């Protein structure tokens, strides 16, 4: 098993970063259109130019200002889908460690998703929190 792993620093408080990772309206501003499926338990994300590819996440854990854990229950990561966001307060704001665990192999889809997470975290999430404007799907680069 292998994992996608990222670490970034964001000049905003853990409270603000946590909101961007847990509130569907905020997730929509930096990742992709998100809707609570069943409040506090599931979130449905829409992908594709028409928004017709659904990824459904079960929210397994939400520790305010500290941690968010999702299990993918529908979509391309249903077999590989344990997502963990860990927040740590630092002098300039927040260190965010991200892991997408459970990949059986580091294949092309793993590498593609790793590159996409690089974009969504380093550019879209960081910019959304620091400037107010993200670059959510489908405005992400076509790679």
Residues found near its own copies in the complex (CB under 8 A): 3, 5-9, 97, 106, 108, 110-112, 114-119, 121-123, 126-127, 141-143
Q: To the nearest whole angstrom, how small is the minimum distance from the Cβ of residue 50 to its own copies?
A: 20
Q: To the nearest whole angstrom, how small is the minimum distance from the Cβ of residue 68 to its own copies?
A: 17
Question: Which residue, 3 or 35, is less far from its own copies as judged by CB?
Answer: 3
Q: To the nearest whole angstrom, how small is the minimum distance from the Cβ of residue 92 to its own copies?
A: 9
Residue 132 Ramachandran class (φ > 0 left, ψ -120 to 50 alpha, else beta)? left
Exposure string over 73-108, b if 16+ CB within 10 A, otherwise e? ebeebeebbbbbbebeeeeebbbbebbbebbeeeee
């Amino acid at each position: 098993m292998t994992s996608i792993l990222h670490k970034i620093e964001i000049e905003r408080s853990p409270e603000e970063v946590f909101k961007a990772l847990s509130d569907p309206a905020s997730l929509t501003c930096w990742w992709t259109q998100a809707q609570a499926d069943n409040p506090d338990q599931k979130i449905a994300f829409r992908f594709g130019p028409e928004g017709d590819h659904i990824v459904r996440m079960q929210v397994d854990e939400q520790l305010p200002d500290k941690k968010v854990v999702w299990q993918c229950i529908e979509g391309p990561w249903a077999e590989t889908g344990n997502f963990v966001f860990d927040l740590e307060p630092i002098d300039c704001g927040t260190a965010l460690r991200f892991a997408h665990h459970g990949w059986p192999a580091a294949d092309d889809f793993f590498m593609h998703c790793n590159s996409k997470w690089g974009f969504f975290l380093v550019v879209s999430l960081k910019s959304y929190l620091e400037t107010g404007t993200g670059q959510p799907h489908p405005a992400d680069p076509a790679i």
